[in-house]
Every structure is written in C-alpha cells, then in structure tokens.
Amino acid sequence: MLMAESLTLIDTHAHLDSSDYNDDRAAVIARAFTASIGVITVGVDLRSSKEALALAQRHRLIWAAVGVHPHDAKTLDEDVLSRLDDLTKEEWVVAIGEIGLDYYRDLSPRKVQRRAFREQLTLARRIKLPVIVHNRESTDDLLGILNDLSSSHRGVIHSFLGDAALAEEFLALGFHLGIGGPVTFKQNEALREAVKKIPLERILIETDCPYLTPLPHRGKRNEPAYVHYMAEMVAQIKGIPVGEVEKQTTENAIDLFSL
Ligand SMILES: [Zn+2]
C-alpha cells in the first residue's frame, strides 16, 4: 500500500470538489498521483465537506478537511455544526477547515463570520483536530480571536500573504504557514522576505486550486500537480536544494495532520 511517507510533496490545500474539475477530475487526480503528490482537499460548506470526504474515501493519498468558509458563515447553524462534528468521526478527515475571516469580500456579515470562526475553532479543540485558517484583510480580528481562545494552536494559516513580522506573530501562536501560488508572483517581495525567515519546519506547501495559479501558468486553472512550483520557489528563496523542501514540508504535513 502507498504510504504518505513515500510522497514527494503534499498539496495541503486544494478544492478538488470544485465544479471547475467536473469534466476531468480523474485526470487531475491522476496527474498528482503520477508525480507522487498527495492532496488535502478542503470543504467550504457542509455540501462540499461531504464531497471532500467522498473523494478522500475513494482515493488513497487524498485526505479531507471539513468546515464552513467565512463566505458561507451564515449557513453555520447548530445543525450544520453537529453534522460537521459527525463528519470528523469518519476516517480520512484530518482537519477542520476552511474556517476564518474574510473582510475583503464580506459575503457573510462580519459578526456572523466571527461567531462561525469561534465555534469551529472550539469544535476543533474539543475533538483535537488541527485547523485550516483563511484570513483576508481581517488580521486584527483574527489575531484577537486566536489570542482569546488559547496561547497555542495546531493548524495552518493557509495562503499566507503577510510580511515577516506577521509571520512571526502566527508562528508564536503555534501555527504553520501555508505557502501557495502568490509566492511566485513578482509583486510579492515582502512575502518572499518572510519565507526567508520562516523556519522550514513550519512551512506547508499548497495550491488552493483551482484558484491562485502559480507562474508560469498564472491565468489558467490551478491543480495539485503544480505544487512543485511553490516548493521550487521556497528552495530558491532559502538557497537550499528543492529536495530538502520536499522532504521537510511533506514531513510537516504528515505530522500536523497525522496522515
Ligand atoms: Zn481555500
């Protein structure tokens, strides 16, 4: 049987249930596996969390995260929360996510987002699963809630886009930082400066596919097989062999998510 340890890389943040893959999902998954890339596919609401789990149940080397995204925070009532709790009892569910705050698009009222974030953080803590956190233009409130709940967290700030000072704050709280396609974009020099300083042991590599496609494919649909572009950029920034980035970040994902 294939083991997580045999993988070259793990794409720790994908949305394989996205309708963008409806025509060729099997081929997308096959390309990842051919390249020895494992995938954590992340739900954004109850329906997609169930689909993420179904994908994980059908494919060895795909794992699932279940949760309600800040965009959909208004759908998180007590019933949905308890059904998420039920899903976490299934094998292959390795995290609560995608949860967090998004004040850029504001698709759910901010107060509702904050409540949904707190409730899912509390659930994760109770059942001892790590969290996958989304943060867009909401850093102050996000840090406030995280600081409030406890001094130490297990999880990842996904698609981290901040500078070295903000990276330091999240690291101090216990988080890993997810590095995705934006690290390849020309304008994100502050992010590359941050990556230089983040210990390799605290970095996860991700695509956030179908979104945030890295160079040189920017503008087209993203997919897990592209995760090696992010690993190569991290290696280049840190001045180390890409094999070292592959090995350490894969180990990081295996440890954090108990794969
Ligand atoms: Zn996402």
Q: pLDDT of 86-97, one tens digit each?
A: 999 999 999 999
Residue 144 Cα to ligand 1 middle (Å): 22
37-42 sheet: strands from edge to edge: 9-14, 37-42, 62-66, 93-102, 131-136, 155-157, 176-179, 203-205
Ligand 1 centroid, distance to 71 Cα (angstroms): 11
CA distance 53 to 41: 8
Quote the pLDDT of residue 32.
Answer: 97
Q: What was the pLDDT predicted at 1?
A: 46
Distance 208 CA to ligand 1 centre (A): 5
Question: Which residue in 187, 202, 208 sits closest to 13, CA to CA?
Answer: 208
Q: Convert the pLDDT of each residue in 154-203 to its tens digit.
A: 999 999 999 999 999 999 999 999 999 999 999 999 999 999 999 999 99
CA 70/CA 76 separation, integer angstroms = 10
For residue 2, name the pLDDT band (cuts at 50, 70, 90).
low
| pLDDT for residue 150 is more than 80 | no
From the CA of 64, how far away is ligand 1's center (Å)? Answer: 12
Distance 213 CA to ligand 1 centre (A): 12
CA pair distance 109, 70, nearest whole angstrom: 9
pLDDT class of 5 with cuts at 50, 70, 90: confident
What would the DSSP string read from start to end of 133-199? Answer: EEEES-HHHHHHHHHHH-S---EEETT----HHHHHHHHHTT-EEEE-GGGGSTT-HHHHHHHHHS-
CA of 96 to the centre of ligand 1 (A): 12
| Distance, CA of 243 to CA of 259 (rounded, Å) | 20
Decide if pLDDT at 27 tops 70.
yes
pLDDT beyond 80 at 246: yes
Say yes or no to pLDDT of 252 above 80.
yes
Helix H or strand E segment including 40 = strand 37-42
Q: Provide mean pLDDT across the span 142-163.
A: 91
The mean pLDDT value of the chain amounts to 95
Q: Name the residue among 63, 24, 64, 59 with its Cα closest to residue 44.
A: 64
Report whether 224 contacts 14 (CB < 8 A). yes
CA of 14 to the centre of ligand 1 (A): 7
Distance 207 CA to ligand 1 centre (A): 9
Ligand 1 centroid – CA 165 distance (Å): 23
Q: State the pLDDT confidence band at 208, using cuts at 50, 70 and 90.
A: very high
Domains of the chain: 9-257 (3.20.20.140)
Closest of 48, 4, 7, 11 to residue 158, by C-alpha: 11
98: CA distance to ligand 1 center in Å? 6
pLDDT-derived band at 100, boundaries 50, 70, 90: very high
Worst-scoring range by mean pLDDT, 12-21, 107-116, 146-155, 239-248? 146-155
What distance in angstroms lies between residue 101's CA and the mean position of ligand 1's atoms?
A: 12
Cα 42 to averaged position of ligand 1 atoms, centre (Å): 7
